[in-house]
Structure 1
């Protein structure tokens, strides 16, 4: 099987970095990207500014490959948008890799050749097969020695519903709900949100980005309600000046300022259970405890992402039952217990599975865990490529130190609804909302917002 290529799924930052590492090691990769261009998923959030500088966004092996073509990296300490990252780095990198990158090639399945997941015999001697559907409808099976799944999680956002499934009525209200940070630089998008009541659901960096952007429309009559499942705002704004990524800390500080200035109002302990549509088209969000957020024009649901594991069903993966991440990696990234933003160094040892030669890398390796950084993925694929080349010492020498967030303690307990917050629904120095009386039959913890 040493003559066969290694399949890399996804021509995003980590997938292309994996290909560069393999080429440097003398191993031929085949990068399979279902989009029409490299970095297609990154381009979909091209208006968003990254909080990692260029110095942390160019993979080492990729930089060396590009340097041979005369490419010059942008200034180290500047911060690109997603669009700039794709155009100035990912597409030139794909061009440098040449025909190894196949666009319009969607991976729809993977298996051990001639064996379903039940069969033991031959799993170490038969190659893997990757099932590909091309843009023109043609199907192909590609035999490979190993598979690196760097397809990410962008295509599978979490729903608004607080139990991990779509809330009742969520699908029917799809015309009023988006699962992406709106690009307010687009005139049509700006007009859509100007002068409306917008609900932003979520507590991660995407949600903070949306709060800052939509809060800037306050002078046009836009009202923003920030819905959190956790019982208090707590550390949702991040570590501020204590964050070792200054741009990440600054984002949280700007979001906090938008809330304290009254441009954004917070509603805590709210787990959406239903979305009701009034005759005029406006929405009402209803929580599991009967709280109601009424008169909603638009919903921006930024509640995280999850991995698509459907096309890997015939491979023997060992995934954590909570995070859907590799079992050896999960304890290092579990947001219920994760402290201070530190992720311990990890590589091929933590990313492998019972199925020989199969690895999840990049954001997909984190399963449902948040806060993934590009340089984490770059070190992951460096370690994997070294292992595939037989350099076990280099594969296990993982020394990446990630910047701390400045926030210590897990977030799992903060997910508990705070039924004691009947007097305000908000926490800390966040201005409390003016509450209407609970509807008849509502629970004592109801916090209606009008």
Structure 2
């Protein structure tokens, strides 16, 4: 592991911007100062560039094992570091579902050999594996994941007794996908009676409705308050849900937190007309007032984290009729550029992007020595040129599935360098090293 000296970067960290040099040794940020004169194996001239802490994405689906024709740990982590995401937390709905400690550890072994980014994996919850879940080591696993709505395989948890016991006994963070299954089924049956199987995509947000989201989110919040549970509700998609997360507490003191995803901050249901199934997600993209309320909740601190819910599918799968096409899409390569586009549009500040995509995930999950640009912390860093326009195209998409909902979009900001645990992994538009990332650890 070589030393790196970054010169004259505009550092964006903890609500401030300032120009400084930064020295990396043994994977760590050793020194930050206005001017450093030290010998280094590699020197990066960062004049005119902004240096942000590497993004920590708390919700991705990298599809390995079992679904690797869509994506895998190597391909998707490569796309992630190209997009300035230096750490990810991956979901358990792979094949087989990650429902045992052995299967969980198998994924860590795969990542140790394949992932260019730092990594952690959620333990999955089903209706009948709670004893296994409670064995999870909270110091080296990011959390447990519960699907309180439709999911893959045996991962829909709809048994009230299981949910009650999970929220009562889990010592670690519970990340929840909240959509009420009974409401979704009722809505779907209603439209099937009217239209048969020829349901148009535009009805997706009516089937996976605001009511379905709110019923499930409010139940999760109620269970968490009752049991004192550490709850993190994923991908808020409605204005109505925002009220559930109002709090006067500092983030580090919150027991209940929430996440917004890039697609719910960018797209509107009108975009189904042009993007089709490429923007079919669960929860669904909804109305302009929902998007605006989510953004406002991000700005005022009601919603704590911005993530991706990266979930690649093949173009062939996405080309199927609405009822057959899977939900989800690839986002890790384009999430940070998209949020920096909102900076150009003056909807966010660059300091807020660093807060919501790096600082706050680190605080929420109590990630050890990551998420901030501080001496003594791991060197997870991304250099950005805010004024280097580029267009998303098939030629520069790195996802294994080969497509992006942002294809054709021109972003003003370009990722120029990504450093993961002190190793320069991405620069000059290409991968520079196959050095793998590290397993995340947690201060719990």
State the TM-score, normalizing by the size of structure 1.
Answer: 0.23
The higher radius of gyration belongs to 1
Higher relative contact order (CA 8 A, sep 6+): 2
State the TM-score, normalizing by the size of structure 2.
Answer: 0.24
